[in-house]
Amino acid sequence: MDRKKLLACFILSLMLLLATEEKVRVEAGFCWVKLPTFKWICLLKTQCVMACNKVGYRDGKCMGIPHKCFCQVPC
């Protein structure tokens, strides 16, 4: 692979890594944190909310690519 293609692949990989950050600030005082115990792709918000409620978080939603379950927590 020549250098230009290698550099382009590196930059794209870096952008994807930064885009899948595990903690996302959404609104004042609250953040979304990826739920590590949710091992499958998040398809239904209700499943994610129930999983977040089981561990004591108040809300949950599917975010990212592929969709993972994120729980709302105080920042």
Q: How far is CA 58 from the centre of its chain?
A: 17
Of the candidates 63, 65, 75, 56, the one whose C-alpha atom is nearest the C-alpha of residue 34 is: 63
pLDDT band at 17; cut points 50, 70, 90? very low
Per-residue pLDDT, averaged over 38-61, amounts to 93
Residue 54 has pLDDT above 50, yes or no: yes
**What pLDDT, on the 0 to 100 scale, is given for residue 16?**
47
pTM given for the model:
0.63
- Whether the bond between 36 and the residue before it is cis, its omega within 30 degrees of 0, is no
pLDDT tens digit string along 28-48?
688 999 999 888 899 999 999
